Amino acid sequence: MRRIIDEATYKEIQFNLYDNPKFFKTAPLMAGAKSGLKKLKDSSLPFALISRRKDSKSAIAVLKYHGLWPKFFDVSNTFFVVEPADKNVKAQELGVTHFADDEFKILEKLANVKNKFLFDNLDAFENIHGYTRVESWKELIGYFMK
């Protein structure tokens, strides 16, 4: 996208997608997310959210809107970082062994995480760089519960 539009337009789109409260209610929660998180919680497997959101307040507002905060995520298992490499630092601190993201560029930065999953429910990536591709929450949870 950055190759097609100018930087100012890109930043405006990013703000509207991630930080503008008028728009976050328009994005539906991915199918199966709540049931997948419930399975994780019921299994007593520890899980965390490591996000690069610049504004943690708007991120928490989105989680609350979708009924995920504090049911699944709260201050004890939600962490906000600045750079992609910071996700690796936090994951290492937490002892994360499985990590799912929808950007392979993020997964590339997770040198200390053994099991990496690329969420690609739209089959958007031609080359997944050796990561395990998952298309649904059900499929992802299947890997976590092994």
User: Tens digits of per-residue pLDDT, 27-72?
Assistant: 788 899 999 999 999 998 999 999 988 778 888 988 999 999 999 9
pLDDT in tens, 110-131: 999 999 999 988 777 776 777 8
**Is residue 82 over pLDDT 80?**
yes
pTM, rounded to two decimals: 0.84
Token pair, residue 129, equals: 């760089």
pLDDT given at position 99: 95
3-state secondary structure the chain: CCCCCCHHHHHHHHHHHHCCHHHHCCCCCCCCHHHHHHHHHHHCCCCCEEECCCCHHHHHHHHHHCCCCCCCCCCCCEEECCCHHHHHHHHHHHCCCEEEECCHHHHHCCCCCCEEEEECCCCCCCCCCCCEEECCHHHHHHHHCC
pLDDT of residue 118: 93
> What domains, with CATH codes, occur in the chain?
31-144 (3.40.50.1000)
